[in-house]
Amino acid sequence: MLTLDNLWVSIKQFFQEYVINTAKSIEWKDAIDIILLSAIFFFLYRFIRDRRAGKLLMGLAFVFVLTILAEAVEFRATRFIFSDFRQLGVIAILIIFQPELRSALEKVGGTPLSGLKNITSESRDLATINAEIDAISTAASDLSREKVGALIVIERSTKLGEYIKSGVLVDAVISPHILRNLFFNKAPLHDGAVIIRNSRICAAGCFLPLSTKEDIDKDLGTRHRAAIGMSEASDAVVIIVSEETGTISLSVDGNLKRNYNYRSLKQELNGLLIPQVTEDADGKRKHNGKHQKKNNDR
């Protein structure tokens, strides 16, 4: 009983020193700090919850909590075993979560450039972008009808140079005819992805990273998993045509949407790719966050 009493007293002292006393000394700046950290942890949780690394993080969190409790109640053996965990834990996190950290930093680094993306895209003629969208939508519709598998990646602000190098450089104008020929079943590059950069077909037969998400539909194959993985690792827009069903799908930001046709795919691409620029009352051009869309039936 003496041991249990001492354990209870140690726990009460721990909460008294580290929780109650800390709460009493909180100022308005501390409250903002707590809110900011909560937001960071919330977005971190959303980022890793569907990834395999999420379970590893839960394991590390459990060991970290166990270490703190061992110090609070003075479990000498447990404290000895985990004495260096906090120092080694940082290194372990960097090693274990290297792919996730890289993906997150790429997206954070691309966010400040999202506005610049619209400005620089003005250098490309709007008619060129519309022609690009129409050609991709037409090719996807034709490939869907013929049940020819396809994987088309449209580069945006995140540069895809390392994936372009994995394929064969093409540098061709985007046209439904060329896209159909690249994905024709007997074509030498039909198994890989086509990457589009600056409204031109940059490379074909490219290898993409596979998603590690565990909630992907079991009916979806490697092509769809690669599309999701590419959209997780970058801000690219990825179009998929299923070889088995002819279903057209689109993946952005790690999310997959299915059952597109020519019209709905073109409308979606309009919203994702056309610069969001209008003119204000003074005739000055500004970004208003609205998408220009044209609903053309086919």
pLDDT tens profile 78-130: 666 666 666 666 676 677 666 666 666 666 655 554 444 444 444 457 888 89
- Residue 249, pLDDT > 80, answer yes
* Residue 81: CA count within 13 A, CB half-sphere: 8
Contact 264, 251 (CB under 8 A): no
CATH number of the CATH domain containing 178: 3.40.1700.10
Contact 170, 204 (CB under 8 A): yes
Q: Based on the structure, what is the number of domains in the chain?
A: 2
Which domain range does residue 60 map to?
2-96
- Find residue 159's DSSP bridge partners: none
Mean pLDDT of all residues belonging to the chain: 77
Question: Do 79 and 160 fall into the same domain?
Answer: no
Q: What are the C-alpha distances in Å from 287 to residues 228, 282, 291, 292? A: 29, 14, 10, 12
| 257, containing H or E segment | strand 255-260
- Residue 159, pLDDT > 90, answer no
Highest-pLDDT range among 37-51, 113-127, 197-211, 282-296: 197-211
Question: 103 lies in a domain?
Answer: no
Question: 293 lies in a domain?
Answer: no
Question: 109 lies in a domain?
Answer: no
How many other CB atoms sit within 10 Å of the CB of residue 44? 13
Question: Do 66 and 175 fall into the same domain?
Answer: no
Q: Is the pTM of this model over 0.75?
A: no
Question: Do 81 and 134 fall into the same domain?
Answer: no
- pLDDT score recorded for residue 39: 86
- Top pLDDT among 39 and 28 is at 39
Question: Do 76 and 119 fall into the same domain?
Answer: no
- Top pLDDT among 52 and 181 is at 181
Contact 128, 199 (CB under 8 A): yes
Question: Do 202 and 274 fall into the same domain?
Answer: yes
Question: Do 85 and 149 fall into the same domain?
Answer: no
Distance between CA atoms of residues 202 and 20, nearest Å: 60
Question: Do 119 and 166 fall into the same domain?
Answer: yes
How many other CB atoms sit within 10 Å of the CB of residue 242? 21
Average pLDDT of span 156-176: 91
DSSP 120-162: HHTTS-HHHHHHHHHHHHHHHHHHHHHT--EEEEE--SS--HH
275 — phi, psi (to 5°)?
Answer: -55, 140
Question: Do 37 and 124 fall into the same domain?
Answer: no
- Residue 76, pLDDT > 90, answer no
Question: Do 51 and 191 fall into the same domain?
Answer: no
- pLDDT score recorded for residue 196: 96
Distance between CA atoms of residues 229 and 215, nearest Å: 13
- pLDDT score recorded for residue 260: 96
Average pLDDT of span 44-53: 62
Question: Do 118 and 237 fall into the same domain?
Answer: yes
Closest CA to 193 of 165, 156, 152, 154: 152
SS3 of 172, please? strand
SS3 of 75, please? coil
SS3 of 214, please? coil
- pLDDT score recorded for residue 269: 95
- pLDDT score recorded for residue 195: 96
- Residue 290, pLDDT > 60, answer no
Contact 214, 56 (CB under 8 A): no
Question: Do 213 and 273 fall into the same domain?
Answer: yes
- Top pLDDT among 81 and 187 is at 187
Percent of the chain with pLDDT over 90: 35
- pLDDT score recorded for residue 70: 72
Question: 292 lies in a domain?
Answer: no
Distance between CA atoms of residues 170 and 92, nearest Å: 41
Question: Do 280 and 155 fall into the same domain?
Answer: yes
Question: 298 lies in a domain?
Answer: no
Question: 237 lies in a domain?
Answer: yes
Average pLDDT of span 180-204: 90
